[in-house]
């Protein structure tokens, strides 16, 4: 049996295992946002985050200071959508419905 056949046989015999994920937060930063906007092209989805500092109601113009832009592939954006839906479902089960 050749080396290539031996490798194929070994791979077929053992099911694929998921890699262990290590979350490295040594360089993580935290930013507050109360505003989010989404834009996209065929190749990417762009998330814009910032904060609205308008403290008075009835203003005719509001300024939003953008602080972060995150670019995602459409596949990563769809995974984010699924994870957000799961997270919100769990949150609402614990604390009640979030109304917009």
The pLDDT tens digits for 44-63 are 999 999 998 777 777 788 88
Is residue 7 assigned to a domain? no
Q: CA torsion 36→39→44→45, rounded to 10°?
A: 30
Domain count along the chain: 1
Per-residue pLDDT band for 18 (boundaries 50, 70, 90) equals confident
Is residue 46 assigned to a domain? yes
Token pair of 12 as six digits: 């077929």
Per-residue pLDDT band for 15 (boundaries 50, 70, 90) equals low
Is residue 5 assigned to a domain? no
pLDDT at 65: 92
What residues make up the domain containing 77? 35-53+61-95
pTM for the whole thing? 0.68
Is residue 48 assigned to a domain? yes
Distance between CA atoms of residues 45 and 39, nearest Å: 6
More confident residue, 60 or 28: 28
Is residue 90 assigned to a domain? yes
pLDDT at 4: 53
Is residue 2 assigned to a domain? no
């Amino acid at each position: 049996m050749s080396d290539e056949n031996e490798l194929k046989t070994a791979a077929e015999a053992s099911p694929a295992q998921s890699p262990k994920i290590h979350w490295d937060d040594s360089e993580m930063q935290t930013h507050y946002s109360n505003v989010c906007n989404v834009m996209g092209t065929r190749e990417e989805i762009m998330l814009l985050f910032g904060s609205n500092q308008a403290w008075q109601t009835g203003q005719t113009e509001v300024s939003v200071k953008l602080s972060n832009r995150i670019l995602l592939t459409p596949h990563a954006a769809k995974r984010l959508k699924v994870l957000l839906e799961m997270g919100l479902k769990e949150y609402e089960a614990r604390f009640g419905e979030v109304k917009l």
